[in-house]
């Protein structure tokens, strides 16, 4: 059933996307180039609507009687409407954030991060903090996916890699509901990627990037909630690229004394293009980095504690070197690279 859902969702989006493209032009949901945009012409930006329709159709078809389905439907619809209104009319940051919090609040009515298991089988229960922690996670991941949606096929491709990882882990854990949801969303995302990869024929828009980020964040909770203290970092690693890009964007703006909400052109994909990589090569590099994070997450769930800690340390070092090479914080920020250069000179 799960793999049938994967195929059906893929085909559905392939059929729907050209229709959504026509609708976007008719209602004025288009993206006009400016100094921050990479594309040159006017582009329809309602592509996420095709993903939403496909996902909900097959969610309700295959999982209508599951206890979590109602929350996925209501919360997903709410976040889609927020993105849709932003794509058509444009919403203020405060209104968008309020909509995201409301959508996340709907989810917490039935899905929460309730506790983690500490060493020696001790439980750390979050109690009243369960709801705000769950909302914080959902809103953070939703915005992280939204922020990396800056190149053709980038957000949809990174989301697909995260979904492959989450679905793969769901198989190993015997979590059939998470597997079904993951594969429906994966099929929808891959179907859209056919139109979204460079040169894109249509953009995700906030309708798509917010919806994908939202659903992936909820799916990660379903797959990894109430887990051990160590394995709670697994969904963070799976989503390492958008999380790191968002985190260092905040650091960069603090270092430069800029408001955190002010957009700039120094996200990871911008930095790689500044280094001379083409549009496609930049996207493939970030795909590769996402795959490395996904592989590390899989290893950490199966490895002994010492190996998992070693992988985590290696990832932290990898991210630091990547930040310095790309200038993600600042082009003068190179402590490790300068240390390596100095040691070579001394030799």
Helices (DSSP H) in the chain: which residue ranges?
Answer: 2-27, 48-63, 69-88, 93-108, 130-147, 154-173, 176-196, 205-224, 234-238, 240-255, 268-274, 279-302, 305-326, 335-346
| Residue list, annotated binding site for Mg(2+) | 146, 206
Conformational region of residue 226, where left means phi above 0, alpha means psi within -120 to 50, and beta covers everything else: left
What gap in Å lies between CA 79 and CA 57, rounded to an integer?
A: 16
For residue 116, the cross-strand partners are 124
By DSSP bridging, strand 30-31 and strand 115-118 are: unpaired
| Residue list, annotated binding site | 146, 206
Does the bond joining 253 to the residue before it have cis omega, within 30 degrees of 0? no
Residue 142 Cα distances to 97, 119, 286, angstroms: 10, 31, 18
Using the structure block, give the residue that is written with the tokens 């990479």.
38
Three-state SS at 44: strand
**How many C-beta atoms lie closer than 10 Å to residue 346's C-beta?**
6
Among residues 50, 52, 44, 19, which one has the least CA distance to residue 212? 52
For residue 44, the cross-strand partners are 30
By DSSP bridging, strand 43-44 and strand 115-118 are: unpaired
For the record, the structure tokens of 342 come out as 């100095």
User: C-alpha angle with apex 225: 251 to 322, nearest 5 degrees?
Assistant: 30
């Amino acid at each position: 059933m799960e793999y049938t859902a994967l195929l059906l969702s893929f085909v559905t989006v392939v059929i729907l996307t050209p229709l959504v493209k026509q609708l976007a032009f008719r209602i004025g949901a288009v993206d006009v180039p400016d100094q921050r945009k990479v594309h040159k012409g006017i582009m329809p930006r309602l592509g996420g609507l095709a993903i939403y329709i496909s996902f909900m159709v097959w969610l309700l078809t295959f999982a209508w009687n599951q206890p979590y389905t109602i929350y996925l439907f209501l919360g997903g619809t709410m976040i889609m409407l927020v993105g849709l209104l932003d794509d058509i009319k444009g919403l203020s940051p405060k209104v968008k954030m309020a909509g995201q919090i409301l959508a996340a609040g709907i989810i917490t009515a039935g899905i929460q991060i309730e506790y983690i298991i500490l060493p020696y089988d001790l439980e750390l229960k979050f109690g009243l903090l369960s709801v705000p922690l769950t909302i914080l996670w959902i809103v953070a991941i939703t915005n992280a996916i939204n922020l990396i949606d800056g190149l053709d096929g980038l957000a949809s491709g990174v989301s697909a890699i995260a979904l492959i990882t989450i679905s793969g882990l769901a198989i190993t854990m015997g979590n059939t509901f998470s597997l079904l949801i993951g594969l429906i969303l994966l099929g929808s995302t891959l179907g859209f990627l056919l139109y979204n990869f460079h040169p894109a024929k249509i953009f995700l828009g906030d309708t798509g990037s917010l919806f994908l980020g939202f659903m992936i964040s909820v799916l990660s909770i379903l797959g990894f909630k109430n887990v051990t203290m160590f394995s709670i970092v697994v969904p963070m690693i799976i989503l390492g690229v958008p999380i790191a890009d968002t985190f260092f964007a905040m650091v960069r703006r603090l270092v430069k004394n800029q408001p955190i909400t002010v957009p700039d052109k120094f996200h990871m994909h911008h930095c790689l293009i500044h280094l001379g990589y083409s549009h496609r090569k930049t996207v493939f590099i970030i795909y590769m980095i996402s795959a490395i994070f996904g592989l590390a997450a899989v290893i950490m769930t199966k490895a002994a504690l010492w190996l998992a800690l070693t992988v985590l340390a290696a990832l932290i070092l990898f991210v630091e070197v990547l930040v310095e090479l790309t200038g993600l914080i600042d082009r003068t920020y190179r402590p490790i690279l300068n240390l390596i250069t100095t040691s070579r000179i001394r030799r």
